[in-house]
Amino acid sequence: MDTHGTENNTKMALAKAPASGSTPGNNHIPGTVATPENENMSNSDRARSQILNTLKRQAKPMAVDQPALQVELQWGQQESFQNQLKSNGADCERVADSVAALAAVDALIKRNGWHPLPVIAPGLLQKVQLANRWDSIHTEVTEAGTVAVSEAYCGIADTGSLVCLSSPDNPTSLNFLAEHHVVFLPGHRIVAGKRDVWKLMQAEGIHTPRAINLISGPSRTADIEQTIQLGAHGPRSLTVFLLDQLNP
């Protein structure tokens, strides 16, 4: 009996038979499970499904946003503010209240021979009347050598800066146009740093004004021959009176 032809036929049949776990015309991709849904999927669809399933298994849950850490308003030391302000080239003096401060302004003008009639911020006019210091009052800078008197919203201890908020009662022009600038600041309104200014404004419900000026000393420049000159772009002197009491 010739078995050679039978053996060859058997080998050919085995070669044509589909692999275990697959069906004719359906090539199986490793890592996928044959389900009714993917029986009719093309190779590219099954590959895409495999990738998506892998990504789902490896995906990490998204981090939950944590609320921002709320840092409390930090108040500054009056002594630190005074020392820093003086190192910036300004003068600083403590007085009892605004009436005493106006008397000190009058004495300052006479002592230095400055223009006898200061320009007063409109917000201070009532206090000037209480002080009964000057017969006539100006609220706009019109002459050279003028002394302007205004108020600061608060002070910043770490830089010795005054924070001045613009308003009809406290015009920005007084900060720049006068030759000598005098500022009243309640002694208890000194914050630690710049960030605390915004926290204070938020706590007091202050809307951002048209202008916020940070004044850290008299105007100075070294544009000409690298020599410091005072008063080139603003007041040549700055005097701050710290009020122990808010009202006279």
Per-residue pLDDT of the chain (248 residues; tens, 9 = 90+): 455 555 555 444 444 444 444 444 445 555 555 555 555 667 778 788 888 888 777 766 666 666 665 679 999 999 999 999 999 999 999 999 998 999 999 999 999 999 888 999 999 988 887 667 777 777 888 777 799 999 999 999 999 999 999 999 999 999 999 999 999 999 999 999 999 999 999 999 999 999 999 999 998 776 667 666 665 678 999 999 999 986 55
Backbone angles phi, psi at 162, to 5 degrees: -100, 135
Q: Is the overall model pTM greater than 0.85, yes or no?
A: no
Query: What's the CATH code, domain 78-243?
Result: 3.40.50.10420
Structural tokens at position 134: 């000057």
Backbone angles phi, psi at 21, to 5 degrees: 85, 5
The pLDDT assigned to 125 comes to 86
Distance of CA 124 to the CA centre of its chain: 30
Task: List b or e across 28-59, with b for residues whose CB sees 16 or more CB atoms inside 10 angstroms.
Answer: beeeeeeeeebeebeeeebeebbeeeeeeeee
Structural tokens at position 105: 């302004």
d(CA 119, CA 25): 98
Distances (CA, A) of 111 to 90, 131, 165, 234: 17, 19, 30, 22
